[in-house]
């Protein structure tokens, strides 16, 4: 089995990943172009001094990845870090080491030392966003309801639109990523 370092070494850059997107490319670049990284010298300096690598497990059909990837990319660029991506569905052996509640939820950001040692992980969602999504899902009819699939599709489209435009969501992502990664690196 490959190590996380081997996956990282073979992965594509976040820039190449976003440039080659087909499903949520416009919304992902909408987030990237509109998100303003907060003034946070302490966090960016910590990242710049520790120089972790960020290995991202993602897919471009994922609404959470559409929002999270450009935010984490901005952080990586500010600290001059390498952020690379692998596709979940092509790398299930890696994905299955980073399950969330037994599921293959993405995106997952694996924080590696420069030598390739796994230091920690973040993802797939900030806790406040998870609460929001679960509350919205609770409004769906039961799965045996004939309108379930239509209502679920409408809900996911609504959440995707909010992910692409709700700056509070973006702040939740930044704040939680900052908290987890700071604790990982200290």
What is the full per-residue pLDDT of the chain (186 aa) written as tens digits? 899 999 999 999 999 999 999 999 999 999 999 999 999 999 999 999 999 999 999 999 999 999 999 999 999 999 999 999 999 999 999 999 999 999 999 999 999 999 999 999 999 999 999 999 999 999 999 999 999 999 999 999 999 999 999 999 999 999 999 999 999 998
Q: Report H helices in the chain.
A: 4-10, 14-19, 25-34, 41-50, 63-78, 92-95, 127-137, 148-165, 167-185
Q: What is the pLDDT of residue 1?
A: 85
Q: Which range marks the domain in which residue 59 is found?
A: 4-185
> Structure pTM?
0.95
Total domains in the chain come to: 1
Quick check: 58 and 85 in contact, CB under 8 A? yes
16: Cβ contacts below 8 Å, ≥ 6 apart? 85
Output the pLDDT for position 186.
Answer: 87
Tokens describing residue 22 = 């087909």
Domain with 49 in it: what CATH number?
3.40.30.10
């Amino acid at each position: 089995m490959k190590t996380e370092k081997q996956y990282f070494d073979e992965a594509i850059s976040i820039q190449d990943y976003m440039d080659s997107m087909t499903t949520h490319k416009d919304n992902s670049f909408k987030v990237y172009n509109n998100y303003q990284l907060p003034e946070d010298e302490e966090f960016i300096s910590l990242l710049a001094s520790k120089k972790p690598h960020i290995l991202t497990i993602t897919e471009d059909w994922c609404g959470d990845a559409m929002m999270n990837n450009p935010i984490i990319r901005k952080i990586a660029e500010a600290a001059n870090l390498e952020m690379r991506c692998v596709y979940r569905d092509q790398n299930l052996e890696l994905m299955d080491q980073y399950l969330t509640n037994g599921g293959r939820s993405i995106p997952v950001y694996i924080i590696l030392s420069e030598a390739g040692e796994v230091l920690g992980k973040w993802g797939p969602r900030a806790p406040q966003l998870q609460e929001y999504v679960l509350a919205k899902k609770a409004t769906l009819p039961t799965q045996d309801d004939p309108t379930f699939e239509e209502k679920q599709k409408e809900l996911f489209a609504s959440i995707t639109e909010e992910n692409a435009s709700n700056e509070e969501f973006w702040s939740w992502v930044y704040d939680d990523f900052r908290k987890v990664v700071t604790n990982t690196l200290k």
